[in-house]
Structure 1
């Protein structure tokens, strides 16, 4: 088991390693910003990574505080389902995902489960999956983003 401080250091090393991995990927060269993430320019929509003991996740999250707005945006995304799924591994559409904090959000995500962030030998699998899948999800999202803006 890791102490709290050791876990913190492990996560820092993991994300630093991921950044270094991304810097040398040819398909990511020439980008002003490595990942768009919170800067989607669509209100209440963010792109996210998650890496934990269960696996790696690449996420498009709709987190409007108003349920009505959240559901409306999720519905808009379903209109463009084919475009979002182009070139992706299987996307999971979850209209009511509950975060650990108890907050409800809507998510469209892909997962590579069965790998553990605590095992450094799995990090290469995390990095490959997260970089390729976020690259494709971001590209697909940007192709439809103008249609999603209010």
Structure 2
């Protein structure tokens, strides 16, 4: 078992490694991008990657405090579900109005793998191989459809 400090350092080390690995990969628009803190340009809409001690996931998270607006975002994503799946080459899970780790109501479209652990460096290549193509695909998808979300800004 790791202390909180050791666990935090290991996680930080993984994300630093992932960031360095992805640094040379341009966005779909050919620009330099911070893949770890991907900016969608929309408040309360995030592309989130997380790795823990038993699993990892990548998600589109909608955490707007107004549940109705959150649902509108979710419905708009559903309109583009086939396009999203085309970019991802897989089907993701869709959860409208679920709780996050802090008990806040969010909506999430995600893909998860397990068993993997960010605390096991032997799993890092698996984690990187999981995150890389999916965050790149999300970027390509988002650049194609983001204008359709402008009315929800």
State whether TM-score is above 0.5: yes
Displacement of 1:120 in angstroms is: 0.7
CA RMSD across the alignment? 2.0
Q: Which runs of 5+ in 1 are unaligned?
A: none
CA contact (8 A) 1:59 1:108 kept: yes
Aligned residues: 149
Indicate conservation of the 8 Å contact 1:61/1:107, yes or no.
Answer: yes
Structure 1 Cα separation of the partners of residues 57 and 120 of structure 2 = 16
Answer yes or no: is 1:55 the counterpart of 2:77: no
Tell me how far apart the structure 1 counterparts of residues 58 and 37 of structure 2 sit (CA, whole Å).
10
The residue aligned with 1:68 is 68
Where 1:95 maps in the other structure, the secondary structure is strand
Q: Which runs of 5+ in 2 are unaligned?
A: none
Counting only pairs closer than 5 Å after superposition, residues 1-150 of structure 1 correspond to structure 2 as 1-23=1-23, 31-35=31-35, 37=37, 39-88=39-88, 89-150=90-151
Moved over 3 A (4+): 24-28
- Residues 56, 112 of structure 1: 8 Å contact kept: yes
Q: 2: distance between equivalents of 1:115 and 1:23?
A: 24
**Change over 3 Å in CA distance of 1:65–1:109 after alignment to 2:** same
Change (3 A) 1:36 1:118: closer
Distance 1:123 1:37 in 2: 19
Q: Helix, strand or coil for the counterpart of 1:48?
A: strand
Give CA deviations for 1:16-68 in whole Å, capped at 9, x if unaligned. 1111221355888x532132845212342111111112222111111110001
TM-score for both structures, normalised by structure 2: 0.87
Compare 111-120 and 121-130 and name the one that shifted more.
Answer: 111-120
Shift of 1:140: 0.9
Bigger shift: residues 36-45 or 95-104? 36-45
| 8 Å contact kept, 2:87–2:140 | no
